[in-house]
Amino acid sequence: MNKNFWPIVSFVFSTLNFSAVAHESSIVEYSGFGRLIAGKVLSDDAELEGYGQAVSLTKNSLFGLQLDANISDNLSATAQLLAHSNRNRSSLGWLYLNYQLGDSWQFKVGKLHTPFFHYSDVLDVGYAYHWVSPPDEIYSSYFFRQFEGGLAEYEWLGEDITVSFQGFLGKVDQNIQVNKSVYRAQSDVYKGAAINLSFLDFVVRVSQTKGDYRIVENELTPLIDGFSIAGQTNPLFTDLAQKLTIDGDIKFNQFSFHYPMLEHFFQFEFIKVDHNIEALSLLKAYYLTLGKHINQYTFHFTYSRRHAGYLAGLDKLELTTGDAQLDFAISSYNEFLQTRPDADAKSITLGMRYDVAPKVALKIDLRKTWGQPFIGLPSAVQLTFDGSALLMLGGVEWVF
């Protein structure tokens, strides 16, 4: 397990002990969550969702602590600390002030989760959903999960219907991981809105998030620099360098429908990602889940699918210049076009959840994936995958 995981857990527990003392005075309240998840690919010579042939605990295991402090009758502060087995995801997840204006309005300022997916606020709280891991086709992308800025929320409660609206504006400067590479991603203007509608037993959600999207440096940077220099004598290479740069406008659209009944549940979620960045894949993806509750057991089936493609602005270069370095760059560029991942994929997941005790659940999932499950940014590390693989996930989830 990652060497940085346990020191962070120790810090979280120290904070927990401190907050428990404060809790006695009713100024600070704490809550938390954890998950210990093991996974293994049952197919030969394949990697899937960060797992290989060996049993691993380092992909999705974590511990989280949330502290809520009441500053006044209307003003509160919230902090969420996350100790993750993947050191790139250990962080201060939330840190914001919340102002309650009457019964309907809330205003938050600070570091917040992007309210995009159906499970955006609880993605790290595995106890809140039925899978061990949500469908990779939807929830694994180059999307920003957090931002720094402000969010306004309005909620209207009717007799048979509840409507809530969220709008936010902020910026992003954070590290994101693609395959085994870590990149610095930025957005100067990051904004969006979401509408939730609950009536009878139905929950409908529509959201849109957009902004500028920039990767400061990636595996294409040497090519971009070389073509930029060559562009001083040939504008063809200047245009090519601009097209290879991951810097442009991006828009995420989402729709979900949830029907949680007493004995059964049905859930559907769809996302579409549009942008003007040549080197980045366009996405359409969805999942459909059917489930049944039997006493403390939950059995579920999920079908998920992702379609991906690229803009048509990058073409193979059929030329030589006589400059050895530039000709090598042209060859590398043509190889990039041939090997950049096609992220089309589909999966079937069968799983079971057992609520063994209050606030504690055991889970197991079997997920069969076909296609290419690795999305996204240009990466020098191409993971091993031969077109299909079977992944087994299991673990324990808890909240307190």
- pLDDT of 23 reads 44
- pLDDT of 382 reads 56
* Tokens encoding 72: 């006044």
- pLDDT of 69 reads 94
Residue 326's CATH number: 2.40.160.10
Q: Which domain holds residue 331?
A: 5-399
- pLDDT of 379 reads 58
Identify which of 320, 318, 290, 321 has the alpha carbon closest to the alpha carbon of residue 303: 290
* 48 CB-side CA count, 13 A: 33
Element (H, E) at 235: helix 235-244
**What averages of pLDDT result for each successive group of 10 residues across the chain (400 residues)?**
47 46 62 97 85 91 95 94 82 91 96 93 94 92 85 94 97 80 88 95 95 86 91 92 92 96 94 91 94 98 93 88 91 85 88 97 97 64 71 97
The answer to whether 270 and 255 have CB atoms below 8 angstroms apart is yes
- Whole-angstrom distance, CA of residue 258 vs CA of residue 159: 20
- Whole-angstrom distance, CA of residue 376 vs CA of residue 213: 13
**pLDDT tens digit sequence for 336-363:** 888 776 778 999 999 999 999 999 999 9
- Whole-angstrom distance, CA of residue 21 vs CA of residue 141: 40
What pTM was estimated for this model as a whole? 0.88
Identify which of 358, 349, 361 has the alpha carbon closest to the alpha carbon of residue 393: 349
DSSP letter (8 states) at residue 391:
E
- pLDDT of 180 reads 67
- pLDDT of 8 reads 44
Contacts of 242 (CB under 8 A, 6+ apart): none
What is the count of structural domains for the chain?
1
- pLDDT of 395 reads 97
